[in-house]
Amino acid sequence: MDIQSVKQRFEIIGNSPLLNRALDVAIQVAPTNISVLINGESGVGKEVIPKIIHQLSSRKHGPYIAVNCGAIPEGTIDSELFGHEKGSFTGAHEARKGYFEEANGGTIFLDEVAELPLGTQVRLLRVLETGEFIRVGSSKVIKTNVRVVAATNVDFSSALQAGKFREDLYYRLSQVPIHMPALRERREDVLMLFRKFSTDFSEKYRMPILQVTNEAAQLLSSYNWPGNVRQLKNITEQMSVLEQERMISADALRRYLPPDSFNSKPMVIGGGNSSSDLTEREILYKVLFDMKSDLNDLKKLVLGMIQSGGSFISNQENAALFDRVFHENETDLNSQPDRFPVSTPSSGNVIHIAQPSSSTNNSHTDHLEVEETLSLTESEKDLIKKALQKHKNKRKYAAQELGISERTLYRKIKEYNLAK
């Protein structure tokens, strides 16, 4: 089956070379039993690839089971995947088959596979290597013949380095990797998708089809779409229901996009023409490096003040340094008052600079305090708090702002006790 036939059968919209490449790999690998790992951001439509692989394989008449590994609690994930025996744990009133037993002869799709606990990863590795598993609370080995297709939006290189995912399991899952491109990587498809969604919602809600002006069409194509196809579909549905005027202008479209984001562009990392969005870790490191640079400048200024006997601006060099650190970054200091705290922190090294009292006012002494502690955890916590405040605790938009999944944001909120 060719790519165009697959697009028509599975209602896939787009002609991007990156999208065509992903579909072509899926078509070629479908007749085999090779494990496939699909990588891509949240909302790009990764779930369509395992359906294509299953339907074009010899297993198409067998069961197809999709499992969201991130939605199953850690304490029950083994039971869900591999089954359990009666009485094996509290609440196990009868024996139960797991997904791998139910999917025998078919395909199982493990979405968000990077969320699996390490203990479950060991069990999964055994299934992939030998086709065998053991139910929870049993000692009987069960054979299964299952094709495994996995997907994730996690950067596996970071997960492997942090020891959160087994390297041998990663290589076993990714015998054939497939990358689903983000919507900003296939901008030529945005207007086609918008028209498709507009037509669908027009039929669903019995309303005229939405159309866009040239300026709005340009905005649709240039916007980065952090939520990818899912975000575009949601916004199209909102406009289909709420907008009285069916010709959408650029100003009308902006009202449905997250504030201060429609002019953003992907940040280039490294040289050449390649570009990618900053990951959560890279954003935190960038903030910390900026803070460290500012603190180094402040320490130079402080040293000059000490050497000059307490004079705040004793020479041209200190004056220039003061002007660069404080005046050019005045906006940052005002908008981020916590960046250079003036109160004594609970930990870390703090340099105190006391100014001699003048003869006209000897009732107080001015102090400048510089906190040297650079905590990755505190910076991450601060970024999450600001994102939640900016979007009025709407986690969906806060997660998009931070460039992480809603599940990751939910876990961070619980970890830092930020829930209200």
Instruction: Measure the CA–CA gap between 113 and 38, rounded to whole angstroms.
Output: 10
As a 3-state breakdown, the chain gives helix, strand, coil percent values, each rounded to 5, of 50, 10, 40
Structure tokens at 260: 């201060």
The per-residue pLDDT for range 28-69, each reduced to its tens digit, is 999 999 999 999 999 999 999 999 999 999 999 999 999 999
Once rounded to an integer, what is the mean pLDDT over residues 8-14? 94
Structure tokens at 93: 């009133």
The per-residue pLDDT for range 298-329, each reduced to its tens digit, is 666 666 666 555 544 445 555 555 555 445 44
Pairing of strands 141-143, 132-134: antiparallel
Sequential DSSP letters for 122-160: HHHHHHHHHSEEE-BT---EEE---EEEEEE-S-HHHHH
Is the torsion defined by CA of 192, 198, 201, 202 positive or negative? negative
**Residues forming a β-bridge with 141:** 134
The per-residue pLDDT for range 90-131, each reduced to its tens digit, is 888 899 999 999 999 999 999 999 999 999 999 999 999 999
Cα distances from 166 to residues 123, 133, 172, 301, in angstroms, run 12, 18, 10, 48
SS (HEC) of 361-405: CCCCCCEEEEECCCCHHHHHHHHHHHHHHHCCCCHHHHHHHHCCC
Once rounded to an integer, what is the mean pLDDT over residues 9-18? 94
- The angle at the Cα of 230, spanning 229 to 235, to the nearest 5 degrees, equals 100
Structure tokens at 172: 């076993």
Q: What is the pLDDT of residue 185?
A: 95
Of the pLDDT bands very low, low, confident and very high (cuts 50, 70, 90), residue 265 is very low
Q: Identity (one letter) of the amino acid at 157?
A: S
The per-residue pLDDT for range 358-397, each reduced to its tens digit, is 444 444 444 444 444 446 677 788 888 888 888 888 888 8
* Torsion angle of C-alpha atoms 301, 326, 287, 266, degrees rounded to 10: -140
